[in-house]
């Protein structure tokens, strides 16, 4: 099982790095001067790709898939949220930050994206309430209304901060920052997993996830912090903040340590949250997309909870 997990984990890492590298490369290109591109739909598509649309589109697919899997867990637990509407509303939330940067979508001010997000959240909640009122039978209306809203906020709104991190830091650095934050979070998971296997003795939360240990939790924090510091140095080589400088950390060591600890702590809490949901639904994995990992939710549970803090810290420190 460990070998299979390492193999498919490596495949996921390669796929993520590939998408980020391609997205970063696209942002360094220029609009083709072909006559049939200017002013056409194809021109709008190129405009989006040059601003980071590839990574955003992949994120939207992942979030939509995650909503479907979470809906499956909710139904297994006896609830009936509006999964279709939640999926649609969550995917729209992923793209709304584009209102702040893309001329084809209107206002270029950053405030436009935030206003659109707030307005769409209000609309999504109202629709969730109306859907519950019109549904028959009415048993469990409060729970279904709350779960529909929660699916939209937990996956759509929280996930939108990944798109914001990509967009608010324009150019290749935005793509690499997304990779940086996800790498720190996922290496925390890896560190916790292998530390727990090797030296785990004391249960961390036996009522939620019997296999997680205190030793694994600490090992995850250490692994995430080490990766945060190491990648800060590596980032100075790949995406230097000023031309002609010697390779250097683009994130000071102290801040890299803070970032690693914060991502490690919240990421493992996010993993426990999904474990509690699966235990309530009496399902081991949210899906069967990736062998030994489970479904999309089993992969993105920790990055979801950490996304808002990662956006706030990285854009504040480097913006």
Residues 235, 269: one domain?
yes
pLDDT digits (tens, 9 = 90+) for 160-174: 999 999 888 877 888
pLDDT value of position 287: 56
- Same domain, residue pair 199 and 148: no
- On whether both 223 and 83 belong to a single domain, the answer is no
121 and 181 housed in the same domain = no
3-state secondary structure the chain: CHHHHHHHHHHHHHHHHHHHHHHHHHCCCCCCCCCCCCCCHHHHHHHHHHCCHHHHHHHHHHHHHHHHHHHHHHHHCCCCCCHHHHHHHHHHHHHHHHHHCCHHHCCCCHHHHHHHHHHHHHHHHHHHHHHHHHCCCCCCHHHHHHHHHHHHHHHHHHHHHHHHHHHHCCCHHHHHHHHHHHHHHHHHHHHHHHHHHHHCCCEEECCCEEEEEHHHHHHHHHHHHHHHHHHHHHHHHHCCCCCCCCCCCCCCHHHHHHHHHHHHHHHHHHHHHHHHHHHHHCCCCCCCCECCCECHHHHHHHHHHHHHHHHHHHHHHHC
User: Could you tell me if residue 278 is inside a domain?
Assistant: yes
Q: Do 116 and 146 reside in the same domain of the chain? A: yes
Domain that holds residue 227: 171-319
CA distance 37 to 125: 39
Task: Based on the fold, state whether residues 140 and 179 are members of the same structural domain.
Answer: no
Give the pLDDT score at 232. 85
Query: Is the domain of 185 the same as that of 261?
Result: yes
92-107 mean pLDDT: 69
When computed from its CA atoms, the radius of gyration of the chain, rounded to whole angstroms, is 21
Residues 236 and 202 in one domain: yes
pLDDT tens digits for range 136-155: 667 778 888 999 999 999 99
- 265-275 pLDDT, tens per residue? 999 998 888 88
The answer to which of 85-89, 237-241, 288-292 has the lowest mean pLDDT is: 237-241
Among 138, 168, 198, the domain-final residue is 168
Mean pLDDT of the chain: 81
Confidence of residue 73 (pLDDT cuts 50, 70, 90): confident
Residue 274 falls within a domain, yes or no? yes
Domain count, the chain: 2
Q: Name, in order, each residue with C-beta under 8 angstroms of 312's C-beta and a sequence gap of 6 or more.
A: none
Cα–Cα distance between 147 and 126 in angstroms, integer? Answer: 13
Query: Using CA atoms, how far apart are residues 149 and 135, in angstroms rounded to an integer?
Result: 16
In-domain check, residue 35: no
Residue 47 — left, alpha, or beta (φ > 0 → left; ψ -120 to 50 → alpha)?
alpha
Residues 133, 156 within the same domain: yes
Residue that is last in its domain, among 168, 188, 223: 168
Examine residue 211 and state whether it is found in any structural domain, yes or no. yes
Specify whether 218 is located in the same domain as 302. Answer: yes
- Percent of the chain surpassing pLDDT 90: 32
């Amino acid at each position: 099982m460990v070998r299979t997990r390492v193999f498919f984990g490596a495949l996921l890492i390669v796929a993520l790095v590939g998408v980020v590298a391609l997205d970063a490369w696209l942002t360094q290109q220029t609009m083709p001067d072909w006559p049939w591109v200017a002013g056409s739909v194809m021109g709008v598509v190129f405009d989006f790709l040059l601003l980071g649309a590839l990574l955003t589109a992949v994120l939207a697919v992942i979030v939509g898939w995650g909503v479907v899997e979470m809906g499956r867990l909710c139904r297994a637990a006896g609830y009936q949220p509006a999964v279709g509407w939640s999926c649609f509303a969550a995917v729209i939330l992923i793209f709304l930050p584009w209102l702040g940067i893309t001329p084809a979508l209107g206002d270029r001010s950053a405030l436009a994206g935030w206003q659109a997000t707030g307005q769409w959240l209000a609309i999504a909640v109202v629709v969730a309430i109306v859907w519950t009122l019109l549904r028959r039978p009415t048993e469990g209306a409060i729970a279904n209304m709350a779960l529909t809203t929660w699916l939209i906020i937990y996956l759509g709104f929280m996930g939108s901060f990944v798109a914001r991190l990509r967009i608010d830091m324009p150019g290749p650095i935005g793509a690499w920052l997304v990779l940086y934050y996800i790498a720190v979070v996922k290496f925390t998971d890896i560190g916790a997993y292998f530390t727990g296997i090797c030296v785990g003795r004391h249960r961390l939360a036996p009522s939620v996830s019997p296999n997680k240990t205190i030793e694994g939790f600490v090992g995850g924090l250490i692994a995430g912090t080490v990766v945060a510091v190491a990648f800060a140095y590596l980032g100075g080589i790949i995406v230097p903040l000023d031309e002609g400088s010697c390779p250097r950390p683009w994130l000071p060591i102290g801040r890299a340590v803070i970032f690693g600890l914060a991502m490690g702590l919240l990421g493992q809490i996010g993993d426990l949250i999904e474990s509690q949901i699966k235990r309530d639904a009496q399902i081991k994995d949210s899906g069967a997309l990736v062998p030994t990992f489970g479904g999309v939710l089993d992969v993105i549970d920790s990055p979801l909870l950490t996304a808002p803090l990662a956006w706030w810290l990285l854009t504040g420190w480097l913006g």
